[in-house]
Amino acid sequence: MPEVFVEKISDFAEGDRRIVFHGGSEIGVFHWQGEFYAYDNLCLHQGGPCCEGIIMHKVEDVLAADKTWLGQTFSADEAHFVCPWHGYEYDIKTGECAGNRSLRLKSYQVVRRGADLYVITG
């Protein structure tokens, strides 16, 4: 299977991302909460570079027991990367569009080989 070298794992800090190129395509690779995730760097909305946008925790509403709104907070479990063109948000762990979970970016398998990190492209 074709694979693309990403980086030495020791050089890839928690919370970072890298964009790798393969056959005219761009792949965004994220290091998040000890795991690695890789997606097409092509927003499903209008083809923007979605993997290059900011990374932020999901905003969640806080509700009282009677369901009245108390405010908002950031999720401890879910984070999104945001396409810089028009703000489409994608779940960093699944590649799903936060606004419509039936939409999902193409994902790639990420493997560790010794001290190196690779994306399987085929």
Structure tokens at 64: 């009282």
Q: Which residues of the chain have pLDDT under 50?
A: none
What is the structure's pLDDT at 77?
87
Indicate the pTM of the whole model. 0.89
Q: Which two tokens stand for residue 68?
A: 């009245």
pLDDT reported for residue 11: 96
Rounded CA-CA distance 56/6 in Å is 23
In this prediction, residue 71 carries a pLDDT of 96
Secondary structure class of 52 (helix, strand, coil): helix
What pLDDT score was predicted for residue 122?
Answer: 79
pLDDT at 16: 95
Name the residue among 25, 20, 19 with its Cα closest to residue 81: 19
What range does the domain containing 91 cover?
A: 3-61+71-120
Residue 83 lies in a domain: yes
Reduced to 3 states (helix: H, G, I; strand: E, B; else coil), residue 122 is coil
Residue 86 domain flag: yes
| Number of domains forming the structure of the chain | 1
Residue 66 lies in a domain: no
